[in-house]
Amino acid sequence: MNSQLEECIGRFVQDVRLFSSYEAVHFELCIGSNEFSVNVTYRTPAELERDGVSMRNLNGQWIRAADKKESPKTIVQQANYATGKANNAVVPAA
């Protein structure tokens, strides 16, 4: 991998962390020659509490019930808006 691509990926990772939802804990991007796919995993404070798990979001903040900022419905809508399709959908490259 050349240094320009490494720098571009580094900036992209920073932007994903900066603009990701409060409850986003995993982001995966697969790029092919004609399409790309995005998979984002969300964990709500209620899910984490039920499972007895502590977890940080992509921005490094602890996800806590007292800090809950968005409902799961809102998060799904954001994911659909960001990709133009449902999660895990293949979106043709522009």
Name every residue whose Cβ is closer than 8 Å to that of residue 36 and which is 6 or more positions away in sequence: 29, 30, 90, 91, 93
| Cα distance between residue 94 and residue 90, in whole Å | 12
Nearest partner of 70 among 37, 79, 38, 55, judged by Cα: 79
- Residue 69: φ, ψ to 5°: -115, -20
| Cα distance between residue 54 and residue 65, in whole Å | 11
Quick one: tokens of 56? Answer: 């940080």
Taking only the tens place, the pLDDT of each residue in 8-57 is: 999 999 999 999 999 999 999 999 999 989 999 999 999 999 999 899 99
Taking only the tens place, the pLDDT of each residue in 52-82 is: 989 999 999 999 875 455 444 444 444 444 4
Quick one: tokens of 91? Answer: 């979106």
Boundaries of domain holding 68: 3-92
Number of domains present in the structure of the chain: 1
